Amino acid sequence: MSLITENSPPKLIVPQKAVQTNRLVSTRSGGKMVKDYWDRLFSARERGATVVWYNGAALNPIFQAAGIEWCHGEAFGARLAAMHLEGPAQRMGEEYGYNQELCSYARTTLGCAVLTHKEAAKYVSAADTADIPDIPSQEVLASRLPPPDLFVNAYSGCSTGQQWDEISYRLFNKQLPFFKVSYPLLWGNKADAGYLRGEEWMEASRYVAAQLHKLIEFLEFHTGNKFDWDGLRQSMHYIKRAAQLRIDALALCKATPTPAVFWDWVASIAPINFLPGNQDLVDYFAGVKAEIEQRVIDGVAALPGERYRLAFDGIMNWNKVGWLANQFADHDAAVICGRYTHSSFWNEPHLIDEDDPILGMAQHYLLCPFNHSTKTLGELLLRDCETYGIDGVVFHATRTCRSAANGQMVMAKMAQARGIQTMVLEGDVADASFYKDEILMSRLEAMLETIDVRRRAF
């Protein structure tokens, strides 16, 4: 008998107005790759693998070369939220004492940690779950994470991210090895500071690179495995190729109407964020790019009724991705680019030196989209608005993520000064209770009407 897991039947969905959208077909294989990854990770304990729990930057190539398996805390929190299965973990977190205003990623994964660490894990291994009446079945997925053998924290742009793993470490009785990578915010005290430039950028890059070398020593010490430098170079070779394909494909969406939308790119976050660097990853993004190229040739629009071109700023709304995609489509609004998809995840592949990848990796970790000054964020947003011909920007005011919310109001003013319309969407990264759906729709309609009025005026 199976448990309620990722194959659970979807919840009842209220029918929406039927709008034809052409979601990318090629991204479906990414979904399978990600599911296979998690399924394999869930069996890590049985296979005798060493497991690291980590948060923040995409350190997975380092773990891959260290011969250990990796569990990205936020990614698992996002996955639970996207599958509407975050409830049990969040309830466990609340019962443990975490306030609802605390980062919902942290609440979810700390709740998972409590479940994993305590009772639920033993139920997962039970052969017949029908004999376990006390554990609600949805808890099972939240407790399926293999317990960690070590922790690595590498959270840039968010002090909470680092503090959260201090708590994870304590939840496991302060007995597991724990390594922390620290990042400076790219603040810009000096006149030469800016995106990918200036003395502060280079100093920060070297500081983080040095810590990555220390991390590798730490992993060698605690696993007893000699670090596979050739393996790291190889995986970074694949990641660089995959990243370049992704960037090239993103650029194709300058076309009007756009051949793919932000929601398609959301589907590709997990593969580029934490799947192994290998030929499969390259093939996946080659497939995505090829499909978009063909669409451009054939004149196929992602949203055939495209009337508005929007940008999305902020972190993802994992509980509501599908719902949001439908709402925007219903209004003929093609969301084309976003900070989380376009300014993140190996987004400057030219920085990666395949022969000596550590510095370029450190620089990408610093380029976390929440680790910039507001000035830089505003400049990147305006750049994207110009590149993609954006009419309006949607700011996701993420209730429990100050890291993603920082700078948004100033960025909105910068966009408005350029004649670009803006709106704020109140929501959250992994807690659906913070949404106000009707207010969101009213604001969207108001922004689109304003865009229409301006078009008529000019």
Partner 1 sequence: MNREDELKAILEDLARVAEDPAAYAAAWKRETGGKVIGVFPMNFPSEIIHAAGALPVLVQEDNAPITLGRSLLYEFYCGYTRSIVDQAATRKFAIYDAFFLVDHCVALLGAADALRFEIPDKPIFLAQYTASMDEAWTPPEIRKRVEDLREALAEFCGAALTGADIEASIAAYNRNRQLLRHIYALRRKGRIALSGRQMQILVKSAMVMDVEAHSAKLTALIELLEAGTAAATGLVKLHLSGHFCHAPRPELLDMIEDCGTVIVDDDLFTGFRFIATDVPADVDAIAALTRWYFDRNSNVPCSTRAQMTVDWEEYLARSVHGSGAEGVIILLAKFCEPHMLYYPELRQELLRCEIPHLLIETEHEGLALEMLRTRVEALLETIRLKKAQPALA
CB 137 within 8 A of CB 129: yes
CB of 438 to partner 1, least distance (A): 19
| The only residue of 77, 148, 157, 314 in contact with partner 1, by rule CB under 8 A | 157
Count of residues engaged in binding partner 1, rule: CB under 8 A: 48
Contact with partner 1 (CB under 8 A): which of 29, 121, 166, 441?
A: 166
- β-partners of residue 186 are 372
User: Measured from the CB of residue 277, what is the shortest distance to partner 1 in angstroms?
Assistant: 27
Which range in 17-25, 121-129, 323-331, 408-416 contacts partner 1 by CB under 8 A?
Answer: 408-416
Contact between residue 65 and residue 235 where contact means Cβ atoms under 8 Å apart: yes
- Pick the closer one to partner 1 by CB: 178 or 274: 178
266 lies in the binding site for partner 1 (CB under 8 A): no
By CB under 8 A, tell whether 182 contacts partner 1: yes
Q: Is 170 in the site for partner 1 (CB under 8 A)?
A: yes
Does the footprint of partner 1 cover residue 178 (CB under 8 A)? Answer: yes
Give the residue with the Cβ less far from partner 1, 28 or 190: 190
In single-letter form, the type of residue at position 303 comes to L
Closest C-alpha to 364, from 118, 186, 214: 186
Member of 397, 441, 443, 450 binding partner 1 (CB under 8 A)? 397
Contact predicate 319/430, CB 8 Å: yes
In the complex, the smallest distance separating the C-beta of residue 209 from partner 1, rounded to whole angstroms, is: 12
Using CB under 8 A as the binding rule, whether residue 99 contacts partner 1 is answered as: yes
Write the Ramachandran bin of 4: left for phi over 0, alpha for psi from -120 to 50, otherwise beta. beta
The answer to whether residue 101 forms part of the interface with partner 1 (CB under 8 A) is yes
Among 41, 81, 405, 444, interactor with partner 1 by CB under 8 A: 405
Question: In the bound complex, what is the minimum distance in angstroms from residue 38's beta carbon to partner 1?
Answer: 26
The DSSP line for 345-365 is SS--GGG--TTS-HHHHHHHH
Taking the complex as a whole, the smallest distance from the CB of residue 207 to partner 1 amounts, in Å, to 7
Instruction: Provide the minimum distance between the beta carbon of 442 and partner 1 in the complex, in angstroms, as a whole number.
Output: 18
User: Which CB, 42 or 172, lies closer to partner 1?
Assistant: 172
* 49-57, 63-71, 203-211, 311-319 -> range binding partner 1 (CB under 8 A): 203-211
Whole-number Å distance between alpha carbons of 340 and 328: 18
Residue 172 contacts partner 1 per CB under 8 A: no
- H/E run at residue 336: strand 333-338
Relative to beta strand 69-72, strand 178-180 is unpaired
Binding mask 335-374 for partner 1 (x = CB under 8 A): --------------------------------------xx
Q: Does 273 bind partner 1 (CB under 8 A)?
A: no
61 belongs to the binding site for partner 1 (CB under 8 A) = no
201 binds partner 1 (CB under 8 A): no
Stretch that binds partner 1, among 10-18, 168-176, 239-247, 310-318 (CB under 8 A): 168-176
Instruction: Provide the minimum distance between the beta carbon of 413 and partner 1 in the complex, in angstroms, as a whole number.
Output: 8
159 is a site residue for partner 1 (CB under 8 A): yes
3-state secondary structure of 126: coil
By the rule CB under 8 A, 207 interacts with partner 1: yes
Q: Does 202 bind partner 1 (CB under 8 A)?
A: no
432 binds partner 1 (CB under 8 A): no
Of the residues 38, 54, 63, 164, which one makes contact with partner 1 according to CB under 8 A: 164
Q: Is 126 in the site for partner 1 (CB under 8 A)?
A: no
Residues counted in the chain: 458
Which of 15, 48, 125, 174 is in the footprint of partner 1 by CB under 8 A? 174
Contacts with partner 1, residue ranges (CB under 8 A): 96-99, 101-103, 106, 153, 157-160, 162-167, 169-170, 174, 178, 180, 182, 184-185, 187, 189, 207, 210-211, 214, 373-375, 397, 399-400, 402-403, 405-410, 413
